[in-house]
Structures are given as C-alpha cells and as structure tokens.
C-alpha cells in the first residue's frame, strides 16, 4: 500500500448485516512510500455505531464476510490510498 500520510481504519464484519458489529484497526501508511502492512486479529477493536464494545473478543478471521476502508478522525479534504492486494493470512 502507499498512503498520503492520513489516518484510516480497516474494517471487518463477520456477518452480512450492514448495521452489525464492525471490527476496526487503525492504520496510517507513510505518505508516498510503498509499504506492506500486516494486521493481526488482536489489532481489531469491536465497535457498533462508533462505540467500542469491550466485552467482545477479537474477530475470527475465518468468519470475515465484509471488509472496508474509511478515512478516520474527521479529516477533511482529498485523500489517496493505493492498494495492491488485501490478503487474509492465517
């Protein structure tokens, strides 16, 4: 991946529901520099509508049904995030 210096969140959902629990991991790839980013299941925080759900454990990667990226922390303006691949590795 190659970033623009902004903060992002990578999200994983373990069900097909749009309004369900989302597991989020923060990332901030260096601006203009290609890098490999590895996230462990323990890096993902369970959330629902922006609220952290402390009573849940990290996601089971084998149950991932949806993935997504969003720009984080109410950053305004243009953004650019280049991705070559997203890969689930056990």
Please name which of 38, 29, 36 lies closest in space to residue 6, comparing C-alpha atoms.
29
What domain range includes position 27?
A: 8-71
Q: pTM here?
A: 0.84
The answer to whether position 86 is within a domain reads no
Is 34 part of any domain? Answer: yes
Residue 90 pLDDT exceeds 80: no
Q: For position 88, what pLDDT does the model report? A: 73
Are 39 and 10 in contact by the 8 Å Cβ rule? The answer is yes
Convert the pLDDT of each residue in 30-55 to its tens digit.
999 999 988 988 999 999 988 999 99
Q: Which residues contact 72 (CB under 8 A, 6 or more apart)?
A: 6, 7, 8, 9, 26
2 in a structural domain: no
Q: Residues with Cβ < 8 Å from 46, sequence gap 6 or more?
A: 21, 22, 23, 52, 53, 56, 57, 58, 59
Per-residue confidence (pLDDT) for residue 46, from 0 to 100: 96
Find, among 69, 90, 76, 73, the residue nearest to 3 by Cα: 69
- Whether residue 13 lies inside any domain: the answer is yes
Whether residue 79 lies inside any domain: the answer is no
């Amino acid at each position: 991946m190659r970033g623009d210096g902004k903060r992002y969140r990578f999200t994983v959902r373990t069900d097909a529901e749009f309004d369900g629990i989302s597991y989020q991991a923060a990332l901030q790839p260096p601006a203009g520099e290609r890098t490999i980013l590895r996230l462990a299941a323990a890096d993902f925080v369970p959330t629902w509508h922006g609220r952290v759900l402390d009573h849940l454990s990290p996601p089971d990667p084998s149950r991932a049904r949806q993935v997504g990226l969003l720009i984080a922390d109410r950053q305004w303006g243009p953004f650019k995030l280049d991705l070559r691949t997203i890969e689930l590795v056990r």
